[in-house]
Structures are given as C-alpha cells and as structure tokens.
C-alpha cells in the first residue's frame, strides 16, 4: 500500500521528481503540504483546499491529542473522516512543540511532560504514546518523536539532543504497528555537520520508509540552513522520500528542491495571508499598503485563483482594513493557490530537465519586480 517511486532526476542539480502511493491516494513530489494544526486549514473548507490542488495535508499530533483527543477522533472514524479530508494526511510528532512550548514542558530520557496551553493540565508524550496517538488519528505518514533543537545551541546540547532523538526513533520503530501508515525518522544535530551526519547514519541503519530534516528555520541564517541541506541530503537514501520540516518561503522551496528535497510544509501561506501578505511571482504584496486603496487590478494579473478572478486589490485592502473574515479566506485562497501552482511548475520543470532554467527565471522575476502595465 505504501510505495515511493523515483521518476526523474534533474541533470544539473539534485532536484528530483517522485511519486508516493498511500492508502488514501497518490502524492506527486516535490510537494508542498498545507498545515492543518487543529484538523483544519484555517478559514478554508476541505473541498476548497482540494480544489486548489493540495494533495496531502498535515495534522498536529500535540494539539489534536489535547483537543478533541486522539481517542475521540478514533471513535469518530479517524482524522480523515473527522475532518472530511479524503486524501493523504501526515501527522507531525509533537517534536516542534518541544521547541515552541519550551517554557511549559520538561524533557527527560523517557519523554516530555507538557503543561497544556489550554487549561494548564499536564500531559505526557513518550515515543510510544506518540505512536499510539498517530495510529489512533490514522494518518498516512507518521513522524518519530524527536526534539526540535533551538538556534543558537551549544554543541554539547545538540549532541545530547541528537543522541536522544536516535534512541527515541528506535523506540518509535519498535512501537510502530500500523503498516498502512509509513513512519519517517527525523535527522537532528543542530548546525553541526558531523552531528547531522552521525544522526543520519544511525537512522538509516534502522531502515525507515522516509526521512526528514528537522530543526531548521528556527532562527538560523539562511546560508546555514542551506549548508545543513548540502551536508545531510546527499547522505539520505535515494529510494526514500526526503522531507524538509517547517520550511516554506517560496525561495526555500526552490532551494530545497534543488538540493533533493521531496516534501515541504509550512504555515507561511495561510498565516501570512491572515496578516495581509500575498505572494506573487515577483515577490510579496502587503495589501494594507495605502497604494492599493484605489487599485482595480487583481493581486496577480493572469492568476487563475478565485480571488484574482473576482476581486481587486482595492476590495481586498478594504476587507483587510475592516477586519472582515472574508479577507482571511480570500487571501488564503490566493496564497495556497500560488504555493501549490509553484510546486506543480517545479515538478514539470524537473520532468522536462529544465529545473535550473526555471530557477533562474524564478529569481529574475523577483529582481525585475512587478510588471508595469502598458
């Protein structure tokens, strides 16, 4: 039921084109995965997300285990039925919350104790409980429990965290029961190349269905992020999917694909949409800018999304400044459409052996800026 097939490799870079078969359908890679933290892509219905071209979405293990609870979701038919999403779902492990909720959690060798951000109650996640939650949710891809290390971090802490992540990965693998659910390991080690390589080697020996690179986009300079990818990705198995976790500006997707990444996720398109930042081929539009008050044009002329086909920049600015809920929906529709169409074009470029030319054109458009109407 689970299978990854490598379809094409770019001749001038590590960019590649693949296909993942899951119990809930096929995922064409490279792929961007919208984030549905609470079992929803904020402000949009599952049908809308599907119509925009999303193939696979994310659910958040930590948040869904707190509310409404993994056992309750399982009783109601699993996460696919609960949120009416027919396609594949990837669930994260809660490892990012080990980083983001550092002030209300305690790590020990056995696992992590969280104080709920909702009501202050205490919750325990171990590698075994992490697997149990994800199996109850019924996702197509589950992630090993790990620690997302911060930046900056000392070498000593990064090593201890990395070694613990390896031990937890083995415990997750031992607890893994559902073979209709692929289990991905996560390479840690901070910004230290030798630690990243050591972690990758240890995880490869356990033979997981897929591998992720974690603890990036947590404050480090962009050049360090790329250095880590240049170090780690060539050491990951060629015949397994490679997933860059939580990284998602458009240029990050392009550079990740260039280095051999197959899967991406990020809250950037939807969170930025709710903050009035709209993505286009020449860069970002800040819709609250007064220059758009009387602008009759769509966000991006030629864009086929519902927002651009129906509404002007002036109207979108009005909605955003008035804090109308429709602003968040229309902005999210456009941004997700942009991200998903970008990845569709990337896949086509890799298939046709012209990814490097595509990448050059991507940056050229940004250098030249918004086209001036004749």
DSSP 285-352: EETTSGGGTT--S-SSTT--SHHHHH--HHHHHHHHHTT-HHHHHHHHHHHHHHHHHHHHHHHHHHHT
Residues acting as catalytic residues: 92, 265
Is 374's pLDDT higher than 60? no
Please write the tens of the pLDDT for every residue from 303-338.
999 999 999 999 999 999 999 999 999 999 999 999
Pair 188, 214: CB distance under 8 Å:
yes
Which pair of tokens denotes residue 116? Answer: 């709920």
Mean pLDDT in the chain? 96
Give the per-residue pLDDT at 94: 87
Pair 79, 110: CB distance under 8 Å:
no
Q: Kindly report the CATH number that applies to the domain delimited by 3-266.
A: 3.20.20.105
**Residue 215 and residue 247: Cα distance in Å, rounded?**
10
Checking DSSP bridges between strand 16-22 and strand 25-29, what pairing results, if any?
antiparallel
Pair 187, 201: CB distance under 8 Å:
no
**Residue 272 and residue 286: Cα distance in Å, rounded?**
10
Please write the tens of the pLDDT for every residue from 106-155.
999 999 998 988 898 898 999 999 999 999 999 999 999 999 999 999 99
Give the per-residue pLDDT at 67: 96
- Listed by start position, the domains of the chain span 3-266, 274-365
Mean pLDDT over 80-86 rounds to: 98
Is 280's pLDDT higher than 90? yes
């Amino acid at each position: 039921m689970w299978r990854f097939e490598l379809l094409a490799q770019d001749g001038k870079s590590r960019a590649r084109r693949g296909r993942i078969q899951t119990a809930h359908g096929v995922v064409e890679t490279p792929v961007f995965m919208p984030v549905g933290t609470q079992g929803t892509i904020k402000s949009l219905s599952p049908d809308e997300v599907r119509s925009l071209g999303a193939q696979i979405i994310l659910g958040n293990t930590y948040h869904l285990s707190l509310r409404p609870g993994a056992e309750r979701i399982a009783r109601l038919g699993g996460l696919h039925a609960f949120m009416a999403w027919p396609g594949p779902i990837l669930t994260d492990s809660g490892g990012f919350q080990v980083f983001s909720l550092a002030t209300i959690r305690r790590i020990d060798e056995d696992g992590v104790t969280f104080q709920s951000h909702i009501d202050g109650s205490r919750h325990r996640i171990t590698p075994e409980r992490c697997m149990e939650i994800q199996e109850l949710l019924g996702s197509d891809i589950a992630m090993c429990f790990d620690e997302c290390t911060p930046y900056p971090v000392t070498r000593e802490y990064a090593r201890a965290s990395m070694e613990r992540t390896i031990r937890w990965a083995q415990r997750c693998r031992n607890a893994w029961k559902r073979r209709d659910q692929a289990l991905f390991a996560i390479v840690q080690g901070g910004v230290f190349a030798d630690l990243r390589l050591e972690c990758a080697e240890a995880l490869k020996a356990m033979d997981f269905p897929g591998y992720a690179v974690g603890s990036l986009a947590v404050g480090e300079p962009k050049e360090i992020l790329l250095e880590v990818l240049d170090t780690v990705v060539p050491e990951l198995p060629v015949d397994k999917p490679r997933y860059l976790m939580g990284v998602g500006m458009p240029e990050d997707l392009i550079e990740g694909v260039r280095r051999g990444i197959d899967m991406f996720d990020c809250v950037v398109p939807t969170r930025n949409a709710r903050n009035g930042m709209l993505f286009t081929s020449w860069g970002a539009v800040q819709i609250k800018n007064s220059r758009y008050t009387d602008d009759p044009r769509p966000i991006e002329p030629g864009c086929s999304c519902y927002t651009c086909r129906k509404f002007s920049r002036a109207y979108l600015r009005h909605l955003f400044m008035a804090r109308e809920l429709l602003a968040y929906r229309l902005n999210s529709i456009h941004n997700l459409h942009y991200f998903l169409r970008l990845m569709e074009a990337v896949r086509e470029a890799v298939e046709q052996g012209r990814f490097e030319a595509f990448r050059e054109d991507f940056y050229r458009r940004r250098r030249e800026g918004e086209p001036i109407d004749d």
